[in-house]
């Protein structure tokens, strides 16, 4: 791509924090990530865009509360103040052309979706934290042995994280498809890992 083509792309795309790309004509990591996302199935792009648009959303008015958080929980049939990672992930994956999902339990969400071994952005990362509890998020990048995710209810908000693939399960709401245009080694976004509750 020429610098002018890169600038045109940057003017119309966002990064993994949901922020508009800097229009400078340079092919930096955020632009490379956005280019890789643009090669995906439009449903996957929409899932990732939804998740990234909420990065930085914080709880307010008490634990597990906030206007958006209460809305996600209500949509998933959960009481206000409930843990909300699955309610958030359910909202993220319910894009046009994909099944409508309204699930408030991370384990139930992970089990209702199809397990995958070929991990792609837009998939759901999940793992159990107890016999009936769990945690989940949306995959937005891949690296050697790890995935980058946007997770709701991570600490007190929607945050970027990295997870080892050996410690999580991956499932998808989408049918089996082959995506010939997917570049190998989708970039892993920069993120810090914090404790999950």
Segment 137-163, tens digit of pLDDT: 999 998 889 999 999 999 999 999 999
Distance, CA of 125 to CA of 12 (rounded, Å): 28
Q: What is the 3-state secondary structure (H, E, C) of 12-78?
A: CCECCCCCECCCCCCCCHHHHHHHHHCCCCHHHHHHHHHHHHCCCCECCCCCCCCHHHHHHHHHCCC
pLDDT digits over 92-116, tens only? 999 999 999 999 999 999 999 999 9
Distance, CA of 125 to CA of 26 (rounded, Å): 31
pLDDT at 163: 95
Distance, CA of 188 to CA of 154 (rounded, Å): 19
Model confidence at 192: pLDDT above 80: no
């Amino acid at each position: 791509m020429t610098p002018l083509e890169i600038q045109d792309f940057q003017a119309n795309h966002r990064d993994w924090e949901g922020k508009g790309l800097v229009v400078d004509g340079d092919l930096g990591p955020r632009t490379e990530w956005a280019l890789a996302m643009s090669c995906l199935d439009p449903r996957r792009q929409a899932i990732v865009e939804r998740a990234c648009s909420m990065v930085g959303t914080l709880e307010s008015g008490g634990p597990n509360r906030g206007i958006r958080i209460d809305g996600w929980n209500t949509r998933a049939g959960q009481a206000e103040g409930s843990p909300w990672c699955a309610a958030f992930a359910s909202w993220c994956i319910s894009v046009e052309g994909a099944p409508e999902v309204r699930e408030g339990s991370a384990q139930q969400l992970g089990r209702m979706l199809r397990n995958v071994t070929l991990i792609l952005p837009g998939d759901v990362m999940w793992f159990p934290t107890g016999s009936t509890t769990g945690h989940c998020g949306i995959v937005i990048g891949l690296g050697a042995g790890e995935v980058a995710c946007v997770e709701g209810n991570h600490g007190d908000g929607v945050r970027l994280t990295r997870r080892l693939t050996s410690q999580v399960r991956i499932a998808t709401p989408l049918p089996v498809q082959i995506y010939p245009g997917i570049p190998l080694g989708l970039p892993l976004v920069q993120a810090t890992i914090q404790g999950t509750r």
